[in-house]
Structure 1
């Protein structure tokens, strides 16, 4: 089958590789659509921290935002999964440790990460093998484009859930990339007044086109009380800024990751009686995201700038956004025939 393979820093190609098999408890999915995110870019450039920790080595087969149709099942898997439209969790816990047994498999010490850590080839391929326990069925009301946005949506869903917003609250989202914009969409669906803070005029202009009127830079941000601040950027200084801006007694949510350590003053955290929440993964938010998409409360499709073929992807990874792409931050790859 065809699969994207990153062979070294800044080197990727589509190769013919052996198709996966359905091991006991697993299924093989015919991938129809997959997304590209910032983690995938870091895996391509060699900047991903997992290379330094030894969790990931070249060659790498990426792809953790995906949807498809189950085509084969392994021993012990119910036959009702055959033909099902599905997406799946990225974080694959061992299933036996204390964290997994308490429902925290996404922070399992020995977890696999589909398309990110060694051992689990990703979904930028014609087929992918995954444990049946990681699957989520997709209703017909959630089309293929929306379905491949469930994983990033789950991160945003959890972030907004952690912000504990009430209707009429004022929420500030730092970083209008894919996750930040999705946070804005979920916060707006929760009845909050949403503001976005960004840096590039292109990203801020795009945010306006999808209905966000309150978009600012650090220089233009108004002096307002912020009931929740969601930090979704990769800027080293903004985690501290989020804590500075949030109202006492309210919540700051950290879902963005900078390339180097960010510092906050825990004295300010304590003296303001602020609750700070970190969000690692979409795992506990996947079902809620699917339901929100199905109900029509959140539509992630305007964020998709282009849908390209698997063969086009190595050039796009190397050269960046093509001139023909739309203004959104997300790229999708159509794989299934």
Structure 2
């Protein structure tokens, strides 16, 4: 089968690789769509932290936001999975440790991460092996594009849950990228008043096209009461800013990762009696995201600027974009395209 392989910093190619065969407890999925995210771009550039910690190494096959159809099942897997449309969890715990036993497999010290950690191959390929317990079925109304947006949506849903807002309360989202916009769309669907903060330019203008009325830059942010703040940015200074502007006694959710350490003054955290919540992965948020998409309460498809083939993946990872795609943040790969 064809797969996209990164062989070193800014070096990649589409290769013919061995077809996956499902091990016991696994299925093979024919991939229909795979999303490209910031983590994938860091693997391509060589900046991804796992490359330096030893949790990942070249050559690597990336892709952890995906949807497809089960085409083969291994021993011990119900054959009813054959032909089902699915997406799945990125985090694959060992299944034996106390964290896995407590339902926190996404924090397992020995976990694989599909397309990211431990050498598990990713979804920028025609086929993908996946443990059956990681699968999330997709109903008829959730098309391949929506299916590949379930994983980032699950991250966003967990962030919204972490903010613990009631309908009518005010949320500030820092960073109008894919995750930040998904946080805003989900929170708005649940009745929150959503405000977005970002850099002036195309990103904020695109956010307005999604119906967000309260869109600000650093110089225009009004002095309102923010009942929760979600930092979905990659700016090292914004975690502290989130703490500054949140209402005392409420919550700040940290889901964005900066390229350098972010400093937060814990004296402010304590004196404002603020709860800080960290979010790692979509684990626990996949089913709820599918429900939101299937019901039509949230439609994130406008976030996808274009869908291209494996042969164009390297250019996408390098940041090259066709101007005709516009300013939507997400690019999808269809492995069946040349």
TM-score, normalized by the shorter chain, greater than 0.5 = yes
Q: Alpha-carbon deviations, 1:186-221, whole Å to 9, x = none?
A: 110110110000014100000000101111111110
Q: Does 1:225 align with 2:191?
A: no
| SS of 1:94 mapped into structure 2 | coil
Report the counterpart of residue 30 of structure 1 in structure 2: 30
Which residue does the alignment assign to 2:260? 260
**Once the two structures are superposed, what CA deviation does each residue of 1:149-192 show, in whole Å capped at 9, x if it has no partner?**
00000000000011011111010000000000000001101101
Correspondence list, 1:1-40, <5 A? 1-40=1-40
Q: Which residue of 1 aligns with 2:298?
A: 298
* Superposition map of 1:273-288 within 5 A: 273-288=273-288
C-alpha distance in structure 1 between counterparts of 2:173 and 2:144, whole Å: 27
Q: Give the secondary-structure state (helix, strand or coil) at the position aligned to 1:283.
A: coil
Q: Secondary structure at the match of 1:223?
A: coil
* Conservation of the 8 A alpha-carbon contact between 2:2 and 2:16: yes
Quick one: distance in 1 between partners of 2:158 and 2:116?
A: 21
- Shift in Å, 1:119: 2.3
Match of 2:216 in 1: 216
**SS at structure 1 position matched to 2:243:** helix
Question: Root-mean-square deviation (CA), in Å?
Answer: 0.9
Match of 1:177 in 2: 177
Measured in 1, the distance between the counterparts of 2:198 and 2:40 equals 22
The more displaced of 117-126 and 150-159 is: 117-126
Matched, 1:109 2:73: no
- Could you tell me how far apart the structure 2 residues matched to 1:160 and 1:132 are? 27
**3-state SS of the aligned residue for 2:204?**
helix
Whether contact under 8 Å (2:111, 2:118) holds in the other structure is: no
CA distance in 1, matches of 2:58, 2:181: 32
Q: C-alpha distance in 2, partners of 1:67/1:164? A: 29
The answer on whether the counterparts of 1:33 and 1:336 sit within 8 Å (CA) in structure 2 is no
3-state DSSP class of the match of 1:87?
A: strand
Q: Does residue 239 in structure 1 map to residue 239 in structure 2?
A: yes
Structure 2: state its 5+ residue gaps. none
Matched residue, 2:127: 127
Q: Work out the CA distance in 1 between the residues paired with 2:256 and 2:319.
A: 24
1:326, distance to aligned residue in structure 2 (A)? 2.5
Match for residue 146 of structure 2? 146
Q: Distance in 2 between matches of 1:200 and 1:125?
A: 36
1:62-85, Cα deviation, whole Å (9 max, x unpaired): 000000000000000001000000
Matched residue, 2:74: 74
Q: Describe the SS at the equivalent of 1:284.
A: coil
Q: Which runs of 4+ in 1 moved over 4 A?
A: none
Q: Which moved more, 1:8-17 or 1:316-325?
A: 316-325
Q: Secondary structure at the match of 1:328?
A: coil
